[in-house]
């Protein structure tokens, strides 16, 4: 799935229309509380500017649902971006129209214009053809660097590519390279660790990975649905009763394939979903009623750590417990530390897992941290993402 990238084309003097993911969190006073996504696009932006592009950036922010909502303006992003770039990122007051076109026409090589929130127009999420064409008219080359929205077929992620030569940005390239390698040709042994809240979110990923991994380690709340499907008592743990058949089918397939599928053998349990709860440990078989599983236990951590030794590729998606609460963050933290030390290709996806390792200050010790939550899950399910499919092949 090799795609042409921004490095494969001539940019000097060209109007480069680049889709980025500037969907950053803002506080009440419209201050950006986390600028990770802006920083993540800097390599591609700087590359384009150094090569003499006239750069037009576009993004969505929040969910304005097709209406102009001033609190979801990209204005604060333009300010932050200007600080990070050390040159002014000009701000347009719309993303299409005559006025924007005139602003684009005055852009010189090495200058940047940020278009206003794409989702102020309902046509964006409908991938309306005329709207996509109006966007495309602003540029001569289309670059998609917004991996986080690549699973959406919107005007700015898919439609626009029908009208312009289309290539991947550097961030997009990195995502495709690492996640693609995991699915196509991982260094072995290849171990996947899946956790998080729901089986239903990740069943597609488990199914797709079953044919590819050397072993699967399951933690988080989703483990309880599997343990319940095996007939164990899980007390008040978060079990998805309506996913029981799916879980049973999957366990049968695991059995047939003979892939090691490790579920927790002990649990940290609590009498309520709270940091102040009473806490104790339980073995694999029974979580008493009135109690719920909140984290994997020490013996599970030992077994998971052993399963990880010698791995050459590890994919991790989903925390192993309720890591947001101190008494239940042990499993997630210990496994994160094991991964950070491992001599292997380590790839982390999922908003919460990424937040967990970033809080531990371990981000720098992973090979690749995927920026797309939903997009990385769909990629790992083996789906073709529309925002990638439209980019030119090498």
- Contact residues for ligand ADP (CB under 6 A)? 195-197, 201, 220-221, 238, 293-294, 317-319, 321-322, 324, 350-353, 373
205 interface partner picked from Mg ion, ligand ADP, none, CB below 5 to 8 A per type: none
Q: What are the tokens at 112? A: 């940047």
- Helix residue ranges per DSSP H, the chain: 36-50, 75-85, 98-105, 122-126, 129-136, 170-184, 199-210, 222-229, 244-257, 298-308, 330-341, 351-359, 373-380, 386-389
The nearest distance, CB 352 to ligand ADP, in angstroms, is 3
Q: Which is nearer to ligand ADP, 166 or 353 (CB)?
A: 353
Bridge pairing between strands 89-91 and 112-114: parallel
Name the nearest CA neighbour of 164 among 17, 11, 9. Answer: 17
| Binding partner of 220, given Mg ion, ligand ADP, none, CB within 5-8 angstroms per partner class | ligand ADP
- Of 176, 191, 175, 155, which Cα lies nearest the Cα of 59? 155
* Smallest separation, CB 194 to ligand ADP (Å): 9
Residue 270: CB minimum distance to ligand ADP, A: 9
CB of 252 to ligand ADP, least distance (A): 24
Q: Which is nearer to ligand ADP, 46 or 363 (CB)?
A: 363
Task: Identify whether the C-beta of residue 167 lies closer than 8 Å to the C-beta of residue 392.
Answer: yes
Partner from ligand ADP, Mg ion, none binding residue 159, C-beta < 5-8 Å depending on class: none
The site partner of 298 among Mg ion, ligand ADP, none (C-beta below 5 to 8 Å per kind) is none
**Rounded Cα gap, residues 336 and 320, in angstroms:** 10
Q: Which does 293 bind (CB under 5 to 8 A by kind): ligand ADP, Mg ion, none?
A: ligand ADP
Rule CB under 5 A: say whether 352 interacts with Mg ion.
yes
Catalytic residues: 37, 198, 351, 374
Helix (H, G, I), strand (E, B) or coil at 170: helix
Which positions from 332 to 351 touch Mg ion by CB under 5 A, shown as an x/- string?
Answer: -------------------x
Which CB, 6 or 322, lies closer to ligand ADP? 322
Exposure string for 102-123, b = 16+ CB within 10 A, e = fewer = ebbeebeeebbbbbbbbbbbeb
Q: What is the CA radius of gyration of the chain?
A: 23
Selection from 48, 275, 291 nearest residue 283 by Cα: 291
In the complex with Mg ion, which residue's Cβ is closer, 166 or 353?
A: 353
Residue 58 CB, nearest distance to Mg ion (Å)? 26
| Size of interface with Mg ion, in residues (CB under 5 A) | 2
Residues that bind Mg ion (CB under 5 A): 351-352
């Amino acid at each position: 799935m090799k795609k042409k990238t921004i490095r494969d084309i001539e940019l000097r003097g060209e109007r480069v229309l680049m889709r980025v993911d500037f969907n950053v969190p803002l506080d009440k006073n419209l201050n950006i509380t986390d600028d990770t996504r802006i920083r993540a696009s800097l390599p591609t932006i700087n590359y384009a500017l150094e090569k003499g592009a006239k750069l037009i950036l576009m993004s969505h922010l929040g969910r304005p649902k097709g209406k102009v909502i001033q609190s979801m303006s990209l204005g604060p992003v333009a300010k932050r971006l200007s600080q990070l770039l050390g040159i002014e990122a000009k701000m347009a007051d719309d993303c299409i129209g005559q006025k924007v076109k005139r602003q684009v026409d005055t852009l010189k090589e090495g200058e940047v214009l940020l278009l206003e929130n794409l989702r102020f127009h309902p046509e964006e999420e409908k991938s309306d053809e005329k709207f996509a064409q109006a966007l495309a008219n602003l540029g001569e080359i289309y670059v998609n660097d917004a991996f986080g929205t690549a699973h959406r077929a919107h005007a700015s992620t898919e439609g626009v590519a029908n009208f312009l030569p289309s290539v991947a940005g550097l961030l997009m390239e990195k995502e495709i390279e690492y996640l693609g390698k995991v699915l196509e040709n991982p260094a072995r042994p290849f171990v996947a660790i899946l956790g998080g809240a729901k089986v239903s979110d990740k069943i597609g990923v488990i199914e797709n990975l079953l044919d590819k991994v050397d072993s699967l380690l399951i933690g988080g709340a989703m483990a309880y649905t599997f343990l319940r499907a095996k007939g164990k008592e899980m007390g008040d743990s978060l079990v998805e009763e309506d996913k029981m058949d799916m879980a049973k089918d999957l366990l049968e397939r695991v059995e047939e394939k003979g892939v090691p599928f490790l579920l927790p053998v002990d649990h940290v349990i609590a009498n309520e979903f709270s940091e102040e709860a009473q806490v104790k440990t339980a073995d694999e078989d029974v979580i008493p009623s009135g109690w719920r599983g909140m984290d994997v236990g020490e013996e599970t951590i030992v077994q998971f750590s052993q399963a990880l030794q010698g791995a050459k590729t590890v994919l991790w998606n989903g925390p192993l417990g309720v890591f947001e609460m101190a008494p239940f963050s042990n499993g997630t933290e210990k496994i994160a530390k094991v991964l950070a030390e491992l001599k292997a290709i380590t790839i982390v996806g999922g908003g919460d897992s990424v937040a967990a390792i970033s809080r531990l200050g371990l981000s720098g010790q992973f090979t690749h941290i995927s920026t797309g939550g939903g997009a990385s899950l769909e990629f790992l399910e083996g789906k073709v993402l529309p925002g990638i499919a439209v980019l030119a092949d090498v």
